[in-house]
Amino acid sequence: MTATEEDGSRFARGRAHLRDFAARWTGTRTFVASSAILLLFLAVTGALHPIAAILSFFFLAGISGARFMAVGETAPIRIGRSRNDESAAALSGGAAVALLDRLPDPVLVVNGSGRVVYVNGAGEMLVGKGAFGRHVVTVLRSAPLVEAINAVIGDDETRTIEYTVPVPVQRNYSAFVSSVQGVGPASKYILVLLRDVTESRRIEAMRADFVAFASHELKTPLASLSGFIDTLRGHAKDDPEARDKFLAIMADQATRMRRLIEDLLSLSRIELREHVRPSDAVDLVGVANDIADGLEPLADQYDVTIAVAAPASLPEVLGDRDELAQVVQNLADNALRYGRAGKRIDISLSPDEKGGKPVVRLTVRDHGPGIPKEHIPRLTERFYRVDAAASRARGGTGLGLAIVKHIVNRHEGTLSIESELGNGAAFSVLLPVAPQ
């Protein structure tokens, strides 16, 4: 017999054990119940003396109990007495095992000696095939999990633990380990239910970081405002020149706080709607022209030209006009903020294709100093900046590109960033074309 065949037959034996147990248990209960009804009927009708009926009942119950115990090596039955007899009967004959097999979370059943007697499909993906009959120490790669299983074998106390598997990619699991007494050929089974909690732990960590960053960003201008208020109340009280200077700085700090709060609110609004697809048809050329017109006074101030180039006819995109305007605004703002030394910003629009589907490509390109390559993959993270001081000095909040990424995701589009040091930067967004 090959290893695979042997594994297969071991699994078949494991399932047969569980099936056999279910059948015997159901059979025993049915036998005792129907004997009781029959004896009661005979006693009531006078066919059998009541004392003889009671003695016969105990005799038959004793025989069936002995039969039940004889087939397995098991002793006490604790949870074998099902909370719902109909469910127990309906799930006999291997149905329970088939259902466990379909569970999306890994399930392992271990006997009282620590050997694996059952692994469901999801469990096999985790521990591999061929775990049947092996000791958990050789099957599971986590010492805390093996420890928890051994502890439950020892004291029958249910445990829930969390552990991390570092390789090949770090993953976090939550394990529920509980013992089940006397439900099969062995006297004890340990149920091990695993849940992959990597994603939720990652989101929790991100949220915690986000709150820490946001409060830090707000704390700095707030501390500066409080400091200047004290100064104005104190020694600068009667110094009109100093007062004007400090009030100008305070106005700047207040603007910075307002911008940050607006960006935070904007981000949370977009996140709330991220799973609802926008449904309007939007003329992206009109949006780009509006934004370019709005930025003209500032661009003039920095001596920068903003040019919009688009073919005579371009299909409309499926989207939310206000959100798409925010995408173009944030990208053009950044080009002016960080790339104004290049003196020119090009906003271009063209038809394109993604995965065989028609899309519109919008690119905002500046000719400034560009972005070092190692920073590019992280630019859309919240509060990530190449140079935090330069960003703050230019009114940046560190949230502009995070907002762009979320809006593009909601539109089922893609954002790509290309840059070469000294040669400017190009931010491109692909957006699906609206149906005709």
Residues within the interface to ligand ADP (CB under 6 A): 330, 334-335, 338-339, 366, 368, 371, 379, 385-387, 391, 396-402, 425
**Least distance (Å) between residue 263 CB and ligand ADP:** 8
Contact in structure between 132 and 113 (CB atoms under 8 Å): no
Sheet with 414-419, side-by-side order of all strands: 305-309, 344-354, 357-366, 425-432, 414-419
Rounded to whole angstroms, the Cα distance separating 403 from 268 reads 9
Residue nearer to ligand ADP on the CB measure, 50 or 377: 377
In terms of Cβ atoms closer than 10 Å to its own Cβ (0-12, 13-18, 19+), residue 45 is: exposed
Residue nearer to ligand ADP on the CB measure, 308 or 379: 379
| Three-state SS letters, 206-256 | HHHHHHHHHHHHHHHHHHHHHHHHHHHHCCCCCCHHHHHHHHHHHHHHHHH
Residue nearer to ligand ADP on the CB measure, 191 or 386: 386
Residue nearer to ligand ADP on the CB measure, 5 or 303: 303
- Provide the greatest CA pair distance for the chain: 117
Residue nearer to ligand ADP on the CB measure, 119 or 379: 379
Residue nearer to ligand ADP on the CB measure, 180 or 386: 386
Residue type, 187: S
User: Beta partners for 354?
Assistant: 357
Residue nearest to ligand ADP (CB): 400
Rounded to whole angstroms, the Cα distance separating 215 from 391 reads 17
**Least distance (Å) between residue 217 CB and ligand ADP:** 10
**Least distance (Å) between residue 380 CB and ligand ADP:** 7
Contact in structure between 184 and 17 (CB atoms under 8 Å): yes
**Least distance (Å) between residue 335 CB and ligand ADP:** 5
Rounded to whole angstroms, the Cα distance separating 108 from 119 reads 5
Q: Give 290-355 as a DSSP string.
A: HHHHHHHHHHHHTT-EEEEE--S----EEE-HHHHHHHHHHHHHHHHHHHGGG-EEEEEEEEEEET
Using CA atoms, how far residue 68 sits from 6, 33, 94, 345, in Å, is 29, 15, 19, 84
Residue nearer to ligand ADP on the CB measure, 179 or 397: 397
Residues 6+ apart with CB under 8 A from 217: 260, 383, 397, 398
Residue nearer to ligand ADP on the CB measure, 346 or 366: 366
**Least distance (Å) between residue 405 CB and ligand ADP:** 9
State both tokens at 235.
């020694």
**Least distance (Å) between residue 336 CB and ligand ADP:** 9
**Least distance (Å) between residue 419 CB and ligand ADP:** 7
Rounded to whole angstroms, the Cα distance separating 184 from 193 reads 19
**Least distance (Å) between residue 162 CB and ligand ADP:** 34
**Least distance (Å) between residue 295 CB and ligand ADP:** 14
Contact in structure between 80 and 182 (CB atoms under 8 Å): yes
Residue nearer to ligand ADP on the CB measure, 319 or 368: 368
Residue nearer to ligand ADP on the CB measure, 152 or 214: 214
**Least distance (Å) between residue 391 CB and ligand ADP:** 3
